[in-house]
Structure 1
Amino acid sequence: MSKARPGSRNLITDVPGLRVGQAHDAAVRTGVTVLLPDDRAVCAVDVLGGGPGTRETDALNPENLVDAVDAVVLSGGSSYGLAAGDGAAAWLGARGRGFGLARGPGVPKSPVVPAAILYDLANGGAKDWGLEPPYRRLAIEAAETAGLDIALGTAGAGYGAQAGGLKGGLGSTSIVTADGYTVGAIAAVNSFGAVVGGDGRSFYAAPWEIDGEFGGLGSADLAIGPDDWGLSKINPAARENTTIACVATDAVLTPAQARRVTMMAQAGMARAVRPVFAPTDGDVVFALSTGLRPLGDLPELTVARLGALAADCLARAIARGVYEATALPGGVPAWRDHARR
């Protein structure tokens, strides 16, 4: 039996050197999640959705100048939500954090803050914000409150999310291996596809569940026929559906190795959502390396292990985000409401 177990919080913040902050606006029905490494961290991204909304992802290509980031932001708000990256960058810059190409008096550093957004504009919230969308403010609030404890479900970037026909949300998990590596995942689930099978209760991610973290129902009732999408959304419109996520590890990774971990982690999204990576989805996964634990004598094998664990954690995080969500007034039912029917 595997000796790998979730960390003490079963959250991505079990990864040493990483904190997370969240903020939401209940009237607008939206929110922001900011991942803050203690020091600049290697980062990579993989985009498989057909309608992504992102910020500074090109900078993460291994052949480019930037080899580390100062934060990663997940946000609601569609294109408006990309301003959350500006808020996080301003907060970091005010503290002297960022990439310094030139040094000298009066030359500020440039914080590197990749971001991804999901579409929650049609969820009934008060979106009449005029020239002041709330996302820059929410990102600053999130950064100010960053810590090790994370609210799940209707929180942060998942506050206004919808997962198929159920209330979406923010989920997170972790795993610690017997030889001491920590891997974690966080996901804001706003998918077109369903996260539960034909019974409306059993999560597709059930085979990877640990200690009943999303209900302990198992996978016995997951049978579903071809071309049956269950509790998915109907008649999706472009950019309305997205799962945005970040996986993290304390292992020392190069940008290329981190990129491989993100690519492997996408398997976790495919395990947890059906259908996934559709033309109307904006599915994006980031990976962060806090770089505190060397890879050892078999780096390729260790990277493979980390990628496999990241996929497991991401599948669990997606299910957990929906499991923990609570419904908004007048919105779609939460899993907990639907499961009682």
Structure 2
Amino acid sequence: MATTAGKRNLITDVAGVRVGQAQDARIDTGVTVILPDKPAVAACAVAGGGPGTRETDLLSAGTLVDRVDAIFLSGGSAFGLGAADGVMAGLKQAGRGFSLVDRPGVPPTPIVPGAILYDLANGGDKNWEGIAPYAALGLEAFNTAAQDFSLGRAGAGQGARAGQHPGGTGSASAVTAEGVTVGALACVNSFGSVLMPGTDAYWAWPYEMAGEFGGGRPPADFSMDPEDWGAAKANPVLGQNTTIACIVTDAALTPANARRVAQMALSGFSRAIRPVFAPFDGDAVFVLSTKGEASPAPDPLTVTRIGELAASTLARAIARGVHEARRQTGAVV
């Protein structure tokens, strides 16, 4: 039996995780929350030159905390980092968080790393008054967490742009013959293009499953100038940007395993976007294991398989998010 997409073809095909979204169409921005049912082993890898992140130092080797209560992805540039406050409020109300010692009257502290993308110049009325709207959007996204959620212009992908095309939220999953599931979610606001120059084929087309992003293929005689970036936001042949993502698996991983999977997953960006990891991109990926640590730890070959699946599934999620956004805006039928 070959590896296939999961039942929903969403990150939530991994048991024990839900996704919540909130968006404001007037501001043209939003927030996405990845919510495991219990604290999950986590890691993060950042490759873009202009990242905006919160609490990622906690995920470094040798730190006190190695599990998280949620991950948030948000529009709004640095304003969007406030989305974590709303997510933390929801988690505190639910009694979730980290405590060194349980003490009466001292609440646990929810651990909520996250990352932002820059959608301030992509349209919408960004002239809000007073406190930025992202904490409220974060709490709303937390409260709507479910197994089913929208793709395309939704959540943190609401106001995104992918090169010269509308960006959006994408997700995909893969299930191995042994029943291990890897899911990916991406909010695509890239400087680079996800489409091959002069075609309607996505760079990620070799990894597509069951026509999930339109089935477009490059012509047999396709060739291009190495400096032709196609429909990127700027093209040397003829900003401000980021793709932020999360991988979740039900494979048991140690924190060190998760960091290796996150590093391998970065190649999913380069399979789907060109150019990528530019000085003005904030590309970052989080990895969660809902099963927690295994004893003994998984062998290196198993970690390699999970990392490769993370990369290919992430590439599919990126293409799928842009394809859905293009379909919603009438760019494709």
> Which range, TM-score by smaller chain?
over 0.9
Q: Is 2:136 aligned against 1:137? A: yes
Tell whether 2:82 aligns with 1:83. Answer: yes
Q: What is the alpha-carbon distance in structure 2 between the residues aligned to residue 294 and residue 188 of structure 1?
A: 30
Secondary structure of the equivalent of 2:285?
strand
Q: What is the RMSD of the two structures over their aligned residues, measured on CA atoms?
A: 1.9
**Residue segments in structure 1 that go unaligned for 5+ positions in a row:** 329-333
In the alignment, the residues of structure 2 paired with residue 169 and residue 288 of structure 1 have an alpha-carbon distance, to the nearest angstrom, of 22
- The alpha-carbon deviation at position 162 of structure 1 amounts to 0.1
Percentage identity across paired residues of the two chains:
57
Match of 2:61 in 1: 62
Unaligned runs of 5+ in 2: none
Match of 1:48 in 2: 47
Q: Is the 8 A contact 2:165 2:326 kept in 1?
A: no
Alpha-carbon distance between aligned partners in 1 of 2:180 and 2:116, rounded to the nearest angstrom: 29
Distance 1:93-1:52 versus aligned 2 partners, 3 A rule: same
Structure 1: distance between partners of 2:130 and 2:207: 44
1:165-176 paired onto structure 2 within 5 Å? 165-176=164-175
Q: Residues 1-341 of structure 1 correspond to what in structure 2 (within 5 A)?
A: 3-220=2-219, 223-234=223-234, 237=239, 240-291=240-291, 299-326=299-326, 334=329, 336-337=330-331, 339=332
For residues 317 and 223 of structure 1, the distance between their equivalents in structure 2, rounded to whole angstroms, comes to 25
Q: Secondary structure at the match of 1:22?
A: strand
Shift of 1:132: 2.1
Structure 1 contact 295–302 (Cα < 8 Å) conserved: no
CA–CA distance in 1 between the matches of 2:185 and 2:297? 29
Q: Which moved more, 1:191-200 or 1:279-288?
A: 191-200
Greater Cα offset, 211-220 or 146-155: 211-220
Q: In 2 relative to 1, CA 110–235 (structure 1 residues): closer, same or farther, beyond 3 Å?
A: farther
Per-residue CA distance 1:75-101 (angstroms, 9 max, x = gap): 000000000011101110121100012
SS class of match (2:267): helix
SS at match of 2:67: coil
User: Cα deviation per residue 1:117-174 (whole Å; 9 max; x = unaligned)?
Assistant: 0000012211111222111111111111100002000010000000000000000000
Q: Secondary structure of 1:325's match?
A: helix
Is this contact kept in 2: 1:181–1:293, CA < 8 A? no
Alpha-carbon distance between aligned partners in 1 of 2:295 and 2:202, rounded to the nearest angstrom: 33
Give the distance between the partners of 1:100 and 1:297, measured in 2 at CA: 26
The answer to whether the 8 Å contact 2:48/2:278 transfers is: yes
Distance 2:55 2:293 in 1: 27
Secondary structure of the corresponding residue to residue 278 of structure 1? coil
State the AA in 2 paired with 1:66.
V
Q: Is the 8 A contact 1:251 1:295 kept in 2?
A: no
- Number of aligned positions between the proteins: 330
- The letter for the 1-side match of 2:277 is F
Distance 1:297 1:67, change over 3 A: closer
Normalising by structure 1, report the TM-score.
0.93
How far is 1:292 from its partner?
6.4
